[in-house]
Amino acid sequence: MDLAVRRPPDGAAAGGLPVGAVALHEVSVAFAIRGAPAYKAVAPTSLAVAEGAFVAIVGPTGCGKSTLLNAVAGLLQPAGGWVEIFGERLAGLNGRAGYLFQQDALMPWKTALDNVAIALEVAGTPRREAVAAARDWLGKVGLARFAERYPHQLSGGQRKRVGLAQVLIRRPRILLMDEPFGPLDAQTRQIMGNLLLGLWAEDRKAVLFVTHDLEEAIALSDRVVIMSAGPEARIIGDHVIDLPRPRDAAEVRLDPRFHALHRRIWDQLRAEVAKTYEEGAAR
């Protein structure tokens, strides 16, 4: 693909997409493989995420969901196309985004308080101010009494809460989440979902949320984007989730509209999931 792309006109993001928090314009991703042609992970893909929107990305294993998230974070350079953040072309790391990974990034030798405070300290915030802010954020995620505990003294759900506070304390305008609740049991996932929705409602950051759990995607988001099976994965569906807010991540699943949305999205998604299993069985 020709990399000599032009800057979009004022008031519009790449490819005519509206200016918002995130705009992907014909972004493609390929990985070099020694002694073989490059692996084309993601075909040219466009996606717009408005300010304050909660967008979930679902798709079969290996379809490039996390790869797109990494492109938005500035952790990888697209093979083609470009990413825009609030109308500006991304060059290097995305300093306006916070990234919560599936595996927590807590330092085992630091307490929960220090793990949260360090997110500000590395940016130059004085220690006393960083610690005060960290205490406040631990309170927001329900861990005020656990500030002096080390990661090995916390449950999986509690560590996720520390990780969430660690990301949000820097007040990013975009929140990137890659299977953040994947390792947790179903009950804890729903509790974490409600915590996330409560914190999100306070300032409505733009959220890109990658998950394999379609029910979780519908319960949390404003839109569910479907990616096809790879290689050369692409977006094949974009569904508006018109369930009223505020929501309870558990109770909303009892809504008849929730079930109708699940059926409609799964009808499109299951064929892509089946392709992944068929290809694996053929190898």
**How far is it, in rounded angstroms, from Cα 54 to Cα 68?**
16
pLDDT reported for residue 1: 28
pLDDT reported for residue 36: 80
pLDDT reported for residue 94: 95
Q: Domain locations in the chain?
A: 17-96+218-273
Amino acid at 51: E
pLDDT reported for residue 22: 96
The architecture of the domain spanning 17-96+218-273 is 3-Layer(aba) Sandwich (3.40)
**How far is it, in rounded angstroms, from Cα 125 to Cα 106?**
19
Average pLDDT per consecutive 10 residues, the chain (283 residues; last block may be shorter): 33 52 94 84 94 95 89 94 95 94 90 96 95 97 96 94 95 95 87 95 94 95 94 93 94 96 95 73 47
pLDDT reported for residue 197: 96
**How far is it, in rounded angstroms, from Cα 227 to Cα 222?**
17
pLDDT reported for residue 19: 61
- Of the CA atoms within 13 Å of residue 135, those in its CB half-sphere come to 7
- Of the CA atoms within 13 Å of residue 195, those in its CB half-sphere come to 24
Q: Find residue 210's DSSP bridge partners.
A: 57, 178
* Burial call 236-259: b when 16+ CB within 10 Å, e when fewer: ebebebeeeeebebeebbeeeebe
Tell me the DSSP string of 145-204. GGTT--GGGS-HHHHHHHHHHHHHTT--SEEEEESTTTTS-HHHHHHHHHHHHHHHHHH-
Query: What is the pTM assigned to this prediction?
Result: 0.89
pLDDT reported for residue 198: 95
- Of the CA atoms within 13 Å of residue 113, those in its CB half-sphere come to 15
- DSSP-based three-state secondary structure for 41: strand
